[in-house]
Chain A
Amino acid sequence: MGKSVAIIGTGQTRHGRRQDVCYPDLVKEAVEAALEDAGITLKDVDGVVLGTMPSMMEGVSSTHFYFAEAMGSVGKPVLKVETCGSTGQSIGHCGFFWASSGMADIVLVVGSEKMSEGDGQATMNTVFDPFFQRTFAAGAPGVFTMQSMEWMYRFKIPEDKGREAAAMISVSNHDNAMDNPHAHIRTRVTMDDVKNARIITYPVRLLDVCPASDGACAVIFASGDKAKKICKKPAWVKGIGFRGEEFFYGESDKAIWMSATEAAKEAYSQAGIKDPLKELDVAEVYNPFTYQEMIFYECFGFCPRGKAPDYVLKGTFKKGGRLPCGPSGGTLCTNPIGATGLIRMAEAALQVTGKAGARQVEGAKLALSHAMGGVDQFNGVTILGSEQ
């Protein structure tokens, strides 16, 4: 086997609408924060990995050129890795493999997005093929709504129950974001606020949906030996999984969602996890849509198929519950897409190293982080732990 790998530092920008900085400066803000957190300088970095959304979203193509200075990569090897919404997990995985391969000791991984400058939904639509599905596509909300409807129908979840549980997810994520100084949306909402919010794509309402955020995240990976030498409390990479299903939406069953299920299974088997609900202390699930978050709970084995609303209503995934999900406020309150999956990983690292401040889950030792990409096509999962 290759070398073990740990995360030795993370950094995030203040996420939100950031017209006070140009795009490279936003990236730099996250990189500087991560270097400071790890207590290293750019000189110590052997390689840099970047990921963002595609050029249509960025307004610039091949952003690794534009960000060369901002991400501290001048004179260094770089890799540019992208898998749509799951980019954040994919670049983290790349950082892991680079350090594990022995080709580098310290790898800086950067994910970023300036959603306020581009058009997220128009970009999403160009992920669909131009010959068949693009004509009738309705961006991310359209797809996620169709999936959620299919899921509720399949498992005979009454509409009211699904609505109630989804609203509860929105309320608890918004509550959690109040504890996170980096979060974009920091306002409390009530169950009634969610249930009466403007309809986006029925039954999904405005407060069921993530915002479009500007933000960047940087995570520093080190080979095990190096990590032990320079970091008091690293977050160890215990397991990683990434799966993709067919391109055409409609070809595979999205109520069961094979890619999400298998990606988690792969990560669990590497981490030696048999009962995730019992063994995991905290999870940062990629949740741009409340309803969809429940499908992930089922795919990740947090509860049986079709039972997520019951578990949600019991408070299983709330702060203080059996398995707190999204103590950061999650994607629902902050979504700079290219950074989002990496933010999940950074938040998981903060939790298992006891550095999560007001949003800390007491005594967290094992955490799941996750991101999803494409038209419900890709899922990436990373398990981090406090022990090697």
Chain B
Amino acid sequence: MSIEKYKIVEGQVKVTYELALGRTWSHFYDCFKEGKIMGTRCRKCSRVLVPPRSFCPRCFEDMDEWVEVSDEGIIETWVYVNMPFFAQETKIPFISAQIRLDGCDSGFTHIVGGVDMSDLDKVRAAVKLGGRVKAVWSREKKGSIRDIEYFEPVK
């Protein structure tokens, strides 16, 4: 038996989900519509987490105290993404970042925008670790992560 070329079957799979955000995360996005970023505070370790949690993963206690955090913060770390892949939700190139919002104890993942993306050196001049950024809210808010268009370096 000789095989000239091994056969390949191409396939794509699509299935649909209806994923519940539940009480805590629904409230978080309701507040987005008013331009507010809300976190929850743990009564035991007193950390404030964004996204808010209904319980503290460390203390394993309910977290029902809501705290408004700033829509401004510092960049903990960032990445310039220029790698395309299937089902990517944000168009490349983009800058993904961890932002420590003022009044919050965890990093909030979002994108940094409002900078010249045409070359990497310009990006590196504008986006700095430890640099301050502020949310740019979209005009029409729908209660989703996209209600913040991006975070912009504070001049």
| A interface residues with partner B (beta carbon < 8 Å) | 19-20, 59, 119, 121-122, 125, 130-139, 141-143, 145-147, 149-150, 153, 199-202, 246-251
Whether A142 contacts B87 by the Cβ 8 Å rule is no
B90 within 8 A of A: yes
With A147-B77, A149-B77 known as contacts, the answer to whether A125 contacts B82 (CB < 8 A) is no
Closest to B123 in A: A202
With A149-B79, A153-B130 known as contacts, the answer to whether A19 contacts B8 (CB < 8 A) is yes
- How far is A138 from B19 in the complex, measured between Cα atoms in Å? 22
Which of B83, B87, B108, B145 has a CB less than 8 Å from the CB of A131?
A: B145
- How far is A135 from B29 in the complex, measured between Cα atoms in Å? 15
- How far is A149 from B89 in the complex, measured between Cα atoms in Å? 23
Give 6 A-B pairs besides A136-B110, A150-B98, A249-B98 with Cβ atoms closer than 8 angstroms.
A121-B83, A130-B17, A138-B81, A146-B98, A153-B129, A249-B107
Whether B79 contacts A146 by the Cβ 8 Å rule is yes
With A59-B13, A137-B96, A251-B49 known as contacts, the answer to whether A202 contacts B111 (CB < 8 A) is no
Whether A122 contacts B96 by the Cβ 8 Å rule is no
B54 within 8 A of A: no
| B interface residues with partner A (beta carbon < 8 Å) | 6, 8, 11, 13, 17, 19, 21, 25, 49, 51, 57-58, 76-83, 85-90, 94, 96-98, 106-111, 120, 124, 129-130, 145-146
Whether A121 contacts B85 by the Cβ 8 Å rule is yes
Closest to A153 in B: B129
Q: What is the number of contacts between chain A and chain B, taking CB atoms within 8 Å?
A: 107
- How far is A130 from B18 in the complex, measured between Cα atoms in Å? 11
- What would 10 A/B residue contacts be, using CB atoms closer than 8 Å? A59-B11, A136-B111, A139-B83, A143-B79, A150-B98, A201-B83, A202-B79, A248-B106, A249-B107, A250-B109
- How far is A143 from B106 in the complex, measured between Cα atoms in Å? 16
Tell me the minimal C-beta distance from B39 to chain A in angstroms.
11
Whether A250 contacts B80 by the Cβ 8 Å rule is no
Whether B51 contacts A132 by the Cβ 8 Å rule is yes
- How far is A145 from B124 in the complex, measured between Cα atoms in Å? 14
